[in-house]
């Protein structure tokens, strides 16, 4: 049955995808980065030197932690959806490139090391295209 041009089963599927993906990123990636504090953020942000970005490593590390934790929570709730999926898409692009730029033989180097970030990247882009679906928190 169609509801506002979308199948209810598709809305349920998007909801389940949002919740599963959101909790996975939030718990397994974002939480540890967020509670790691400025030392961990500096290390994460310092990895951007690979791309010639060597200023404000604590800020960039915090932004990665923010995206992985808070934007995942936004995706679960279905709020601030486009900005949240956009920030996580950018975060995953950086993660993919980071793995691809690691020296050969390093742990997590190359396409195999980047595979998890690539998977997340495609799902975030797809979610950005579909929107949060019908099942979400309404703020207004």
User: What is the rounded distance in angstroms from the CA atom of residue 24 to the CA atom of residue 27?
Assistant: 5
Q: Which two tokens stand for residue 127?
A: 């979610």
In the block, tokens 């909801």 appear at: 15
pTM score, two decimals?
A: 0.90
* Confidence tier at 4 by pLDDT (50, 70, 90): low
DSSP state of 103: P
Provide the CB-side half-sphere exposure for 94 (13 A, CA): 22
Indicate whether 1 pLDDT > 50.
no
Q: What is the predicted pLDDT for the residue at 50?
A: 86
Element (H, E) at 70: none
Q: What is the predicted pLDDT for the residue at 2?
A: 47
Long-range contacts of 8-13 (CB under 8 A, 24+ apart): 8/134, 10/133, 11/133, 11/134, 11/135, 12/133, 12/135
What sections of the chain are H helices per DSSP?
A: 8-25, 31-35, 37-46, 57-66, 72-77, 81-101, 110-130
pLDDT tens digits along 11-52: 999 999 999 999 999 999 999 999 999 999 999 999 999 889
Q: Which of 35-39, 56-60, 104-108, 116-120 has the lowest mean pLDDT?
A: 104-108
pLDDT tens digits along 62-71: 999 999 999 9
**Average pLDDT for 91-99:** 95
């Amino acid at each position: 049955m169609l509801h506002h041009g979308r199948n209810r089963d598709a809305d349920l599927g998007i909801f389940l995808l949002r919740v599963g993906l959101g909790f996975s990123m939030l718990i397994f990636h974002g939480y540890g980065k967020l509670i790691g504090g400025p030392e961990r953020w500096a290390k994460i942000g310092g990895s951007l030197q690979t791309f010639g970005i060597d200023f404000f490593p604590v800020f960039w590390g915090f932004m990665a932690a923010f995206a992985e934790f808070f934007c995942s929570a936004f995706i679960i709730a279905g709020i601030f959806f486009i900005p949240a999926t956009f920030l996580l898409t950018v975060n995953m692009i950086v993660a993919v490139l980071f793995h691809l730029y690691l020296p050969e033989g390093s742990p997590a180097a190359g396409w195999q090391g980047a595979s998890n970030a690539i998977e997340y990247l495609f799902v975030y882009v797809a979610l950005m295209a579909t929107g949060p679906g019908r099942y979400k928190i309404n703020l207004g």
